[in-house]
Amino acid sequence: MDTAVTLLETAFVVALCFATFMAGISRTKFHGDESQWIATSHYFESFVQGDFGSDVWGTSYWTLTQPPVTRYVIGFGRRLGGFRVTDLNRPWDYGASDAVNRATGRIPSPGLLWWSRAPMMVLATISGLLLFSIVRDCAGRVGAYVFLALFLTNGLVVQSLCRAMGEAPLLASLAAASWWAVCALRSWTGVAAVPNPRRVRLWFALVGTQLGIAGAAKLNALPALASAAALAIVAAWANQAQRPRREVRHLLWTSLIVCVAGLITFVALNPFLYRAPWRTVTMVQHRLHEMRTQEGERPQSHIRGIGPRIEALWARLFRDDSAMAFTGAPVLYFASALLGLGVLLRRASAWLRSRDQPAGPVVVLVFAVTTVGPALFTPLDWSRYYLLPVVFVILCSATGVAAAVDFLRLRFASPRPAAVRERSRVRRRRSSRRRR
């Protein structure tokens, strides 16, 4: 019975996510960056054909600006739609007007744009399902459905995940890595399970591999490898009293396995790094230089000072893109997110003390340090840079709402104590005697 319910619930979540993002593809406004991603998706053909000596893998703006996994995803989608390299548009020119870009062939055709976005729709659906499962582990079924509602009605989430850009591959990879991490910690700390160190290491190797894919989609995901390694160390430290010392030592070595698996995957997916993996440092430096250039070119988007940053965070996280548009909604949203964060911290602390607690909260919080934290200090007030913080706030808010619902249910639905029931009976008897 439980299996049937789980399958029905999974099918419902997948169908709802797929329908939402399918509709979002046609409603989402075209972004100039999509032109650049689609135009450079010819890297997909060079990669799958094994043409690693091609000139396209030499040092250039396109090999330095971002790793190529997003281009592979777009290339796969457009090939499914029958679009080949000869059908590609030219990269967008931000120094020219929309009319000039259109006249010079820098806007993809409607069919090419749709098929380039199609795999993002699939990845967004996978993200929704995985995050739903993680929130259910953190906050129960009520929290999971509240999360799903907030996630699918958030304008920034739907727009970002429907575009042919790096956000959908990034979020799907991070969500998958988080889910593997939950499975790893369950396997290690479960009460009924006899932990198998090899199985635990396999789970964590999957975490590292998935984070390598995330880093090969967008560079800012690479620091998450430190979070995954920290999870293995925290798990060993928290359970050293319950597990033999030999098993704890194996789990400590697992932190190294996570990093090695992630870095190998990151390099394997990018032939630009084959001859010199240390070019990763050059890529990071180039990315930082590009952001400084963008600050100078778009001073109106540059965040200066604490006050403007707080204002930008409030607008992006709690006001502008939330589906709750009534008066006082941002304050209510903030309060529920703050409550949820407190609940997650308390439950993560309980997991550290007792191995029979859900592992979801500790995974979410540890990963948030390296994925959500840095995004809060972005120098540019661009909406897509806030995707991960927005998703984290939605998760916290759903947890807070679920905790409030649980409190109210226990407060008003719990049976009255025996003394209260006895006093009630006495009052009813006295009232009955008076009426007689």
358 vs 161, residue with greater confidence:
161
pLDDT value of position 355? 66
Among candidates 110, 89, 128, 122, which has minimal Cα distance to 28?
110
Question: Rg of the chain's alpha carbons, rounded to an integer?
Answer: 25
* Contact by Cβ (8 Å): 247, 197: yes
- The mean pLDDT value for 180-203 works out to 75
- Phi, psi values for residue 302, rounded to 5°: -80, 125
- Helices (H) and strands (E) counted in the chain, each on its own, are 18, 0
d(CA 405, CA 408): 5
Q: Which position has the higher pLDDT, 173 or 359? A: 173
435 occurs within a structural domain: no
The answer to whether position 428 is within a domain reads no
Q: Show the tokens assigned to 379.
A: 């120098």
What pLDDT, on the 0 to 100 scale, is given for residue 252?
73
Is 207 within the bounds of a domain?
A: yes
Residue with the two structure tokens 């033999």: 244
Q: If you average pLDDT over residues 400-415, what whole number do you get?
A: 84
Give the pLDDT score at 431.
56
Q: Is residue 427 part of a domain?
A: no
Looking at per-residue pLDDT, the higher value among 320 and 89 belongs to 89
| Residue 192's pLDDT band (cuts 50, 70, 90) | very low
Q: Measured over all CA atoms, what is the biggest interatomic distance in the chain, rounded to whole angstroms?
A: 102
User: How many angstroms separate the CA atoms of 333 and 406, rounded?
Assistant: 18
Confidence class for position 320, pLDDT limits 50, 70, 90? confident
pLDDT digits (tens, 9 = 90+) for 210-227: 999 999 999 999 999 999
Q: Is the confidence at residue 55, as pLDDT, over 60?
A: yes
Size of the chain in residues = 436
Please tell me whether residue 196 adopts helix, strand or coil conformation.
coil
pLDDT at 297: 79
Q: Is 191 within a domain?
A: yes
Give CA–CA dist 50/57, Å, rounded. 12
Return the number of other C-beta atoms located less than 10 Å from residue 241's C-beta: 7
Nearest Cα to Cα of residue 89 among 65, 55, 113: 113
The pLDDT of residue 417 is above 90: no
Query: Exposed, middle or buried, 353 (CB in 10 Å: 0-12/13-18/19+)?
Result: exposed
Return the bridge partners of 302, or none. 380
114 is a domain residue = yes
434 within domain boundaries? no
Q: How many domains does the chain have?
A: 1
Which of 386, 349, 362 has its CA nearest to residue 178? 362
Flag whether pLDDT at 129 surpasses 50.
yes
Q: Quick check: 400 and 343 in contact, CB under 8 A?
A: yes
Residue with tokens 């991070």: 174
Report residue 434: phi and psi, to 5°.
Answer: -65, -40
The domain containing residue 61 runs over which residues?
2-413
Mean of pLDDT values over 285-296 = 87
| Band (1; pLDDT cuts 50, 70, 90) | very low
Q: How would DSSP label each residue in 352-394?
A: HH-TTS-SHHHHHHHHHHHHHHHHTT-SB--GGGGHHHHHHHH
Residue 344 lies in a domain: yes
The tokens of 214 are what?
């995330």
Are 154 and 383 in contact, with CB atoms under 8 Å apart?
no
pLDDT tens, residue by residue, 32-54: 999 999 999 999 999 999 999 88
Q: What average pLDDT does the segment 219-239 reach? A: 86
196-226 as b/e: b if 16+ CB within 10 A: ebeebbbbbbbbbbbbbbbbbbbbbbbebbb
Q: At what angle do helices 167-189 and 224-238 cross, to 10 degrees?
A: 10
Distance from the first to the final alpha carbon of the chain: 54
How much is the pLDDT for 190?
58
